[in-house]
Chain A
């Protein structure tokens, strides 16, 4: 039972208010992290972060900076709540997802604080929709402790370079193996499926390669089922930064430009697949 069932005392001030001329700027980013039903929202003066996790192995974050909103006010240092993301998305797109020129859904979002529902006011063409979405106790989030000082290898690619590769990933392979190296093959994606192995190499001097900083050779495997949801973000993005730290944790940072040319980010963190030990790896490859 969602604990926000008790109505808040009326007249209580909002701890979070935000308004947006085009609700699609928010809904399209949220759709890019929508691979589980629940999300944790975290608002500070800088903006809104929406986090979705699965299997304690993958975490997706959508960042919507305060500047994207026409109004964004937070009365506390940080406001956190958990919400059903599927419901939130259905509400945000109540007037549809398609973009007809000249029509956009205006949004106002309010939250009175712990235990209260999230209120949405949407308007398009004189029709108004009011939504009251119950919020839940925020769950503790994974801390991937992924900081830039621990990053070993970093590659920035134009997204189109990765889109095709990801859309055609051999899903019969349990893992995606990513090799980054200062020498050949520089950047390699490999799958090991029923029909054999596939390797995809990106040369270092490719037009798609915007930056290439690799200090040592790293080969890590990630569960394909965990990475697959990130293709939603990839599809929207213009650039992607692929980083790995010393323990093999992967960060995929997608730069997404909305219709108004504003830049937002969606980030996926993924644990390396630990079932496969180094020894096994060598045996299978040799």
Chain B
């Protein structure tokens, strides 16, 4: 099992840092899955922890100048690591102006991700800051726990409004209520609603558009012959939604959500070379 990678380009490095920061905001601990072509940050929370799920996928070729990976076995050429993304994020903080960053899987006393940051220097000798981040190697028999979640059989799929606006609205609502009802229809309308003893607030977004899911896709079933006006809704923990909106730094080119009535809300944030999926289960 071997892994080493190197980033030289500053733009790539900053982009990678932003992705890691986003993950750090969303998950205390998560699984880092490495394959020959991609990196994945995976969170599959148990129901006891609120049951939030996350699936973030990056093409290594768009970030790394060197990327060597040897999995546990030739026929299972992958590595699964348990990491605390906050540690990775902190290590990359020193790398804002770095000339190069090397990431390597080591096993001195315990398995570690070694992040070596080469900083610019005026003299000929270079300055290198090294962070050893302890990781857990996840044995192969547990890999099945971390399979890509299916796009749920949603009732409504809709593009999200400008995330900044949505974030402000959700932040205010969070002061007033613990849960929020998110509802949308196939006419491009989405509402955020809270209701308490003191106050009820509804924010109406319109003209958002509904993403065209290919008709071959079976997951469209329940959305297909749906009344365009009728709302699909789910009540979710408002802090989870706020965390996603406040934590995301990927500046997605496309952001959408899929609502399965009273079951789950599935958020997808897409950037050229990053995709982030986030699942928030509905409250009873």
Q: Which residues of A contact B (CB under 8 A)?
A: 1-2, 84, 86-87, 90-91, 93-96, 124-134
Contacts and interface: CB of A to CB of B under 8 A. Distances in A.
Contact of A90 (B175, B202, B205): B175
Contacts of A96: 168
B145 interface: no
Chain A interface secondary structure, helix, strand, loop or mixed?
mixed
B198 A131 contact: no
Interface string B145-162: 000000000000000010
23 contacts: A2-B197, A86-B175, A87-B198, A87-B199, A90-B172, A90-B175, A90-B176, A91-B172, A91-B199, A94-B168, A94-B201, A94-B203, A95-B165, A95-B168, A95-B169, A126-B206, A127-B203, A127-B204, A127-B205, A129-B201, A130-B204, A131-B202, A132-B199
Given A90-B175, A91-B172, A129 B203 contact: yes
A131 B199 contact: yes
Given A2-B197, A84-B198, A87-B198, A129 B176 contact: no
Contacts of B176: 87, 90
The interface size bin for chain B is 10 to 19
A94 B203 CA distance: 9
A91 to B, nearest CB: 6
Interface string B196-215: 01111111111100000000
B200 to A, nearest CB: 5
Nearest to B167: A96
A93 B198 contact: no
B168 A134 contact: no
Contact of A134 (B175, B197, B201, B203): B197
Nearest to B206: A126
A254 to B, nearest CB: 26
B201 A127 contact: no
A133 B172 CA distance: 14
Contacts of B198: 2, 84, 87, 133-134
The 8 closest A-B pairs by CB, nearest first: A96-B168, A129-B203, A132-B200, A131-B201, A128-B204, A133-B199, A94-B172, A90-B172
Given A2-B198, A127-B161, A132-B199, A93 B172 contact: yes
A131 B161 CA distance: 20
Contacts of A95: 165, 168-169
B199 A129 contact: no
A127 B197 contact: no
Interface in B161-204: 161, 165, 168-169, 172-173, 175-176, 197-204
